[in-house]
Amino acid sequence: MAWVTKIIAMQQVDYRLAEHAGCFVAPPDGTPTPATSTPGADPTVDYRLRAEHDGALVWMGSGLSAFGLRPGQRMDEAGKQAARLIMNGTHPATGARLVPAEVRAHDKAQLTAARLLEALRIEAERRGLPDPAALLDGKPKQQRQLASLTRQVHKSGDAYRLQYDTLHRLARAAGLDLADVYAPTELAEARAHQHHRVNVRVRGWDLVADLPKSLSVVHALMDDSDARELRALVHQAKDDAFAQLEQWIGYAVAGRDGHPVRIATGGLIAWSVEHHSARPVDDTTPGDPHLHLHLTIANLARCADGHWRAVANSGRDLHRHAKAFDALFKARVRALTRERFGMR
């Protein structure tokens, strides 16, 4: 079954440019390395675990032409830097911003809002006031903030967090000190990060093109020539299914007369990487044989009007079509391997 992972942090991008995507063994020093067989092991197994047969990054998508790139081109170090810039929403050649960032306070600058709400309730009782809002009489802006905070806490409980400076201003307006509400260490951390901002825009998605275990077994038992041909057929199936996925989700949404409308784009921008093993269950054992592909899709495309926008209805249509992509990819693999090898 294909599944989709949202990519937000640049660390997630670098992870998917490291040519292993978590399918390698991590030794004690923490550096991901390809899994290797023990000395004297079956040479077929050893061949399947060697790094040179795994991890090549390949560009995908008709939208690459906007940057002078082409599908099927292997990604070198310059290509990896271009991928980082693209996933950051900027042009890989000029550095110009193509899509706006979505900036918010750093997670470490946020505190659990329910704690302050409870402190305000206790303080109102102590003063004999009917409710916490009475602590803010004559301060309509802070009363509106308190009402919003109360609704969110009732909805999300302790999961609702607010940045330090917002909570500080609200507490000060009510005559409270945050030092009496939060532990010194967490308060100090929030205060230290109060001016830090992070981009929380969805940069893209990781779509896994999965295959049945039986095909991984067949791949492991084939000689080198047939194994290479089998993998080429898998990539052909990937390209065929991805071309259809572009038709399904390769559009943007813009407002027109107050209504959202679809706008055609030049296509998706993506890259793929091939893996032969599953994620290891521990730090020393190689993962099980598992032939599969990771497709990293950037959340931007150049529209017919020349503007750059997010794609796939903010990713909702990618999730909606993941099962269809998975079914089409597997069907193409079955058709191609039956035609070439007589597999059933």
Residues 126 and 218 in one domain: no
What pLDDT shows up at residue 30?
47
pLDDT tens column, 234-246: 999 999 999 999 9
User: Is the pLDDT reported for residue 151 higher than 90?
Assistant: yes
% of the chain with per-residue pLDDT over 70? 87
Residues 149 and 262 in one domain: no
pLDDT tier at 288 (50, 70, 90 boundaries)? confident
pLDDT tier at 55 (50, 70, 90 boundaries)? low
The total number of structural domains that make up the chain: 2
Last residue of a domain, one of 139, 174, 198: 198
Residues 330 and 219 in one domain: yes
Cα gap 344→338, rounded to integer Å? 6
Q: How many residues does the chain have?
A: 344
What pLDDT shows up at residue 52?
41
Residues 221 and 322 in one domain: yes
Residues 189 and 238 in one domain: no
pLDDT tier at 45 (50, 70, 90 boundaries)? very low
User: Is the pLDDT reported for residue 28 higher than 60?
Assistant: no
User: Is the pLDDT reported for residue 217 higher than 50?
Assistant: yes
Residues 236 and 147 in one domain: no
Residues 56 and 147 in one domain: no
User: Is the pLDDT reported for residue 101 higher than 80?
Assistant: yes
Residues 90 and 229 in one domain: yes
pLDDT tier at 198 (50, 70, 90 boundaries)? confident
Long-range contacts of 283-286 (CB under 8 A, 24+ apart): 283/25, 283/26, 283/27, 283/28, 284/25, 285/25, 286/25, 286/35, 286/36, 286/37, 286/49
Cα gap 317→268, rounded to integer Å? 13
Question: Degrees (nearest 5) of the Cα angle 140, 146, 151?
Answer: 130
Domain enclosing residue 313, as ranges: 4-102+202-341
How far is Cα of residue 175 from the mean position of the Cα atoms in its chain?
Answer: 42
What pLDDT shows up at residue 36?
43
Mean pLDDT of the chain: 88
Cα gap 28→306, rounded to integer Å? 50
Average pLDDT over residues 196-209: 92
User: Is the pLDDT reported for residue 37 higher than 80?
Assistant: no
What pLDDT shows up at residue 94?
95
User: Is the pLDDT reported for residue 50 higher than 90?
Assistant: no
pTM of the complete model: 0.77
pLDDT tens column, 258-272: 888 999 999 999 999
At 184, give phi and psi (nearest 5°).
-55, -40
pLDDT tier at 24 (50, 70, 90 boundaries)? low
